[in-house]
Amino acid sequence: MSMYAMPTPSAYDLFRSAQRLFARKRYLEASHELEALLGHPDACDPQGHGVHDARQLLARAYYHSAQLSRAEGLSRAILEDHPDDAYTMLLLGRTLQRAHRGEEARGWLHRAEVLGQSLT
């Protein structure tokens, strides 16, 4: 290794970098950082615990970068682990609306609203 080699970023560094990219509306780049984070050996335990915020931010980055099938798939996976996550229900509903699947979206949006999530 060269004495000028950059150290491998920690899971925390990757998450913070992704948050900054997302805040600057650089959603595709944020999604790449989050994908790297979720593959990072220190990101979570072997069962995948401890990554809910990163997964949710990745689903949002997919949505905002028009990767709708990825946003839908990840939102559904998050809801399998966290079936009472109203924000992810909202995200899934909005993703389905954007994919012109309004009938399916209505059910998720209604669930989110029942759990107290604002739809505005």
Residues 82-101: tens digit of each pLDDT: 999 999 999 999 999 999 99
Residue 5's φ and ψ, nearest 5 degrees, are -65, 140
- The whole-number pLDDT of residue 48 equals 53
Gap between the Cα atoms of 80 and 32, Å rounded: 23
Using CA of residue 40, residue 29, residue 78, residue 16, what is the dihedral sign? positive
Q: Hunting for tokens 């979206």 — which residue is that?
A: 105
Structure confidence at residue 73 as a pLDDT band (50, 70, 90): very high
Domain ranges of the chain: 9-65, 68-120
- The whole-number pLDDT of residue 120 equals 86
Instruction: Report pTM.
Output: 0.88
